[in-house]
Amino acid sequence: MATKTIHLEHAFAGDFILVYESIADFRKFGELHPYMVEVRQLSETIRNGIEYRVKEELLLLGFLKIHPQYNAEVIEITKNKHIQYVSNVKGGMVLVIDFTFFYDENRREVRVSEHITITGNRLLIAYFATVLQKAHVQLFDKLATRLTIPTS
């Protein structure tokens, strides 16, 4: 078993609640994610979280279409401060993502710190980490674009 950690930082001008809810509600997160095609809420968990069933579609090595499915638990560790995702994805890899939120009221800036830990087979982790990091950069870019589009 090997472990890899990734740390990503994201900053947004605008509405804290919109950013927070886009991450706290895994269905909304899935709408932004480039590979998630379906996210269905299953049930509450014993850790006061919510379990979701996730279906993804992506190209493995750029040409082989795969359709991973897995369950993910979303736990609000500290309201408006810390959310954690836990899932056991393909190949026995365990993924834990901790999102920590900071809000500067004066600047109306939301910062999200994303700490990702992947545990599993060393070779699978190397590839998965690259795909995951790319997907999350795209996801947060899409969220930033949503924040700049005026709503009527």
User: Would you kindly state where each structural domain of the chain is located, as residue ranges?
Assistant: 2-148
**Mean pLDDT over the full length of the chain:** 91
Residue 127 has pLDDT above 90, yes or no: no
H helices of the chain, in order, are 16-24, 26-32, 122-148
How is domain 2-148 classified at the architecture level of CATH? 2-Layer Sandwich (3.30)
Closest CA to 46 of 19, 18, 8, 86: 86
Per-residue confidence band for 15, with pLDDT thresholds at 50, 70 and 90: confident
Q: Do residues 35 and 145 lie in contact, with contact meaning Cβ atoms separated by under 8 Å?
A: no
22: its two tokens: 């886009």
Q: Do residues 110 and 14 lie in contact, with contact meaning Cβ atoms separated by under 8 Å?
A: yes
Residue 150 has pLDDT above 60, yes or no: no
Half-sphere exposure of 79 (CA within 13 A, CB side): 1
Residue 26 has pLDDT above 70, yes or no: yes
Q: What is the pLDDT of residue 126?
A: 86
Q: Do residues 26 and 36 lie in contact, with contact meaning Cβ atoms separated by under 8 Å?
A: no
